[in-house]
Amino acid sequence: MTDESKAVLNPGEKVQPDVSKEEAGRLLQRLYGMSAIKVDELSSYDDKNFHIHVDTSNDVNLSENGYVLKILNSLDSKFPEAIEAQNRLILHVADRSICTSRPLPNLRNEMWSLETLERSGDAKFIVRLFTYVPGKIFLGVRYSPSLVHSVGKLAGKLNAACSDFFDPAFSNYKRIWSLTEVPKLTKFVGCLKDVKKEEAVLQVVKEFDEYVMSNYSTLKKGMIHGDLSDNNILIKASSSLPGDYEVVGFLDFGDATEAYYVFEIAILICYVMINAGAEDDPIELGGHALAGYLSEFPLSVADLSVLKICIAGRLIQTLVLGAYTASMEPENAAYVLQTQARGWEQLFLLCARSDQEVFDSWDSVLKLYNLTFKFKETV
């Protein structure tokens, strides 16, 4: 059973592995018997991910699209039972028509291995290989209402696919990115060095505790992806709408956890708001994602009544942990701080609007799709 206190990041910990592109190629050769011909590092908060093209001249079964080699951070590498459960979850949803990268066996026919790295002393890290799914991540494109709606719709299908999955390894496995861990952000607020921002974070933590955590027993619970952010959503050019895109699938189940389904759509809406264009109302745009999600996976009034504060909870997670990670890993600052400017703007906007204003905005969007849901109990 997982010791929850050891599974959550603590201030001062640096957990990202130190591994070069050259070493990634050598790991691939040694563990999977493939010869790397091109290695590109992919962005990641805590892990190291590499897109590797391999020599296919002697094996027609190898993919021309290449593979993704994932070296987990030192913290998650301590919990192989949770990693095995993640693999089972990925295969479970993939078998239910959710497009995602699948884990592949190594030369020992195992889905992961624990390895020492050339520049990491005695520390050991879990290494896995995944199929590479071609496409573009959900960044640098116009977040149109139709595209956002389709992403929400696939998120709802994903949760429906997860609804019959259970693995005891997830029961006590929490990461600092789990929304249940929002109260622990108080340990990290010192890295903000801004009184106004610290006060905003502490107010959200207080409301999250009062309105969300105290009502866990009323919320719909199950397996969630846990990080439907722009970097984990795969899109491609639309075949029917020139200049637009359509959703392909979801990547990286590293934050998957047994939690509350309202967290899933809250996390998605958080990143929709951050990436909304200047011409869009971010809260209204998030309503299109909500409409897509609810069309596939309905939630109760108890869930929807806490959606706004759950979105705020994810906003403060990405803002506080981004600032903290940048202070610990300056070389990774460009990636982890990419949401900062827009994120604070959206947090202050969301907190400035009353629950009723936000609910009314979402309700108006739902009506465009002929959907009716209650956001609070009527007296």
Indicate which residues carry an active-site annotation: 227
- CA-to-CA distance for 28 and 36, rounded, in angstroms? 7
Q: For tokens 């990547």, what's the residue?
A: 251
**Distance between CA atoms of residues 116 and 379, nearest Å:** 60
> Which of 254, 236, 253 is CA-nearest to residue 245?
236
DSSP summary character for residue 182:
G
Give the DSSP letter of residue 215. G
SS3 content of the chain, % helix, strand, coil (to 5): 50, 15, 35
Please count the other Cβ atoms lying within 10 Å of the Cβ belonging to residue 22: 11
| Contact (Cβ atoms closer than 8 angstroms) between residue 16 and residue 46 | yes
Tell me how far apart the alpha carbons of residues 342 and 284 are, in angstroms, rounded to a whole number: 16
Q: Provide the angle, in degrees to the nearest 10, between the axes of the packed helices 145-162 and 261-274.
A: 160
The whole-angstrom separation of Cα 236 and Cα 164 is 29
Token pair belonging to 360: 């009314």
Could you give the CA distance from residue 379 to residue 360 in angstroms, rounded to a whole number?
A: 17
Distance CA 111, CA 134 (A): 22
CB 35 within 8 A of CB 53: no
Torsion angle, alpha carbons of 327, 329, 332, 334, to 10? 10
CA atoms in the 13 A half-sphere facing the CB of 97? 4
* Alpha carbons 239 and 244: distance in angstroms, whole number: 9
